[in-house]
Amino acid sequence: MSRPTLPDQPSTPQPESANDTSFAETALKLGGKSAEEARRTGAIDRADDQVEQLFLPQYQTVNSPAHRAVWDRVAPVELFEAQPQDTPDDVRTVMDRSLEVVKRHQQAGTVYNAEHKISEAVLRDLGEVGYWGLLVDREYGGTGAPFRSFAAFLTQMAMLDPTIAGLASVHGCIGAVDPVRTFGNAEQKARWLPKLASGERLSAFALTEPCAGSDLTALRTRAVLEGEHYVVNGEKLFITNVVPGRTIGLVCLIDDKPAVLIVDLPDQENENFQLVKYGLHALKHTYNRGILFKDFKVPAANLLKTPRGSGLTIAYHGLNLGRIALCANAAGTMRLMMANIIPWAKFRVTYGEPIEKRELVRRRLGRLAGLIVGCDALVAWCSTLIDQGYRGEMECIVAKIFGSEAQKEAAVEFYMKTHGGRSFLHGHNFGDNVHEYLAPCIYEGEGEMLGMAFFKSLVKQHGTQYFEPVGKALAAAGIKKPNPMNPAHLWALKGAMGPYAAWLMAQYVTPRPSATLPKLPEKLKKHAQFATETLQTMPLEISGTMRKHQLKLADRQCRMSELSGRVQKLLTMLCASLYAGRQDNEVIQDAADVLCQDLTRDFTGKRPSDKYYRLVTRLGERIADGGFKSIAGIEPDEILMKYEP
């Protein structure tokens, strides 16, 4: 693949020092949390640190565009500009043939089997044209697609079938492909990657357990080494693609530490391995099952070893790719919604006039276009960063949250409300797929939980550099509630407070230069300026929040979520305005303008102006007349319960 390889690291895991405590763990201990909560949070924080060490320093989170846009003296605008797609011809051929496979099966009515799951014929035919090997390196039989190309392609596939697009992400991003190609040794890569590339073996990732979802420190599945095999006991839950995907990445505990085993599941269940079936409204066209292991043997040679860290390091690595893929899928799915809204809006007549003439419907189409362009912009930006070698943790969280929330809004506020009661008829795209539209808010991390993870990444360096020394000084002096009017407290903090006081003074007295923006249409330039200038005001507010709540900040989830959301809105505005400014398409530029105005009002609390309503409704009118070119070719569903005009 063109994605830069990870830096060379020691070949064996490095032992953790007894004093190797994270900022979060230290804060929780000083804040009076239980030793168990501090230990668990510290384990997650250290796993995050270990993932960081897999990337070159210039590509780690503290040097990422999102982090620097807040904490640098001037926002690095050039890092928010997505690179154009540069898809090799042979990769493009695989993509085109994959689309043709799906179209052919749709026309033949053979996409789904008798259980209404993606059929084996579709999976097999996609394998024959190279679909499953897009993210596998060429030396192992794949095509090594740049992730920038792969992510944009998922949007195209989602316009045909979002489930098939999602399976490419399950297989290549969060399934076994990424763990093996990133962490596997030469023998492991040679053993698994060719079969994963051809589709002979599809993959899944077994992480979630009944007690371990957002809290991955609660893992219970264990593997014990006995001779040349690990013996696995435990249960996994919500594992997508586990029936056709017989090669899985299994996260389990080995010697009480998370680890990852690549497991080739038997073709048939037996006394050591069973699948758990349950009713699941979402992912209805996939095989989502639980797994029960009872004295299940896995060769010891199947253990993936990390240069630093544990199995959580491996688990976290692929999630960022999956988050971009989710946003790409949302961009395609929302195009399907738009393509189905327009014919209905032209057909449905109320009070003698088609509803596509109504302001509210036109506003919905205009707003929907803004959400689609926002997803396109975030996908292009984040996948560019991945190809350049960035970890992309903060940026991919922004894409995941925006994409999933945009799809939810589009489905309920625009698709459902425009189609009215027909939305709930059997055979209607909304009624039949509503759970598919809502579930991404949970996939790859629930949105608000991820928002707090974003905030933690945003404040981690600042907290470690300035607040952790203060906390330790307070603890050493036995001070639980510092009082700035108490001379003894000031004396105890005299050394620790100096660096922070200097930083704070610099924020007030040192002028910040304006960010250098590329040439943009004036309507988009003002949004980019607002985003960069406002991002530069955030350090004082964020640091002030940390100073106010001090060691109790970990309990202020609502405040962390709110601050995180505001920063994410600004980053999305900057990304969308720069992306649209490079498009020679007025509809896309107007859609980005609508989105940025909406995000600005969310940030400031101001009401929409009449000028805004004229913009968004004119945009909706142009879209209804065929102005959103990227939905051309989508065949809308038949209008249900037609009536004579």
Q: Does 8 fall in a domain?
A: no
Q: Does 255 fall in a domain?
A: yes
End residue of a domain, out of 304, 322, 347: 304
End residue of a domain, out of 252, 283, 304: 304
Distances in whole angstroms, Cα of residue 154 to Cα of each of 4, 96, 160, 325, 382? 21, 12, 10, 7, 14
Distances in whole angstroms, Cα of residue 286 to Cα of each of 118, 166, 475, 502? 6, 10, 53, 56
Is 369 in contact with 334 (CB distance < 8 Å)? no
Q: What is the pLDDT of residues 258-300, one digit of tens each?
A: 999 999 999 999 999 999 999 999 999 999 999 999 999 999 9
Q: What is the pLDDT of residues 449-501, one digit of tens each?
A: 999 999 999 999 999 999 888 888 888 888 877 787 888 888 888 888 889 99
Mean pLDDT of all residues in the chain?
91
Reply yes or no on whether the pLDDT at 2 is more than 50. no
Instruction: DSSP for 508-527, please give it.
Output: HHSPPPPPPPPP--HHHHHH
Reply yes or no on whether the pLDDT at 342 is more than 90. yes
Reply yes or no on whether the pLDDT at 389 is more than 90. yes
Q: Does 438 fall in a domain?
A: no
Q: Does 172 fall in a domain?
A: no
Mean pLDDT of 239-246: 91
- Domain containing 231 equals 202-304
End residue of a domain, out of 269, 304, 339: 304
Distances in whole angstroms, Cα of residue 333 to Cα of each of 45, 110, 434? 34, 21, 12
Q: Does 509 fall in a domain?
A: yes
Reply yes or no on whether the pLDDT at 255 is more than 60. yes
Q: Does 519 fall in a domain?
A: yes
Split at pLDDT 50, 70, 90, the class of 39 is: low
Q: Does 88 fall in a domain?
A: no
Number of domains in the chain: 2
Dihedral of the alpha carbons of 521, 527, 530, 532, in degrees to the nearest 10: -80
Q: Does 261 fall in a domain?
A: yes
Split at pLDDT 50, 70, 90, the class of 216 is: confident
For position 225, which CATH number holds?
A: 2.40.110.10
Mean pLDDT of 350-358: 96
Reply yes or no on whether the pLDDT at 11 is more than 70. no
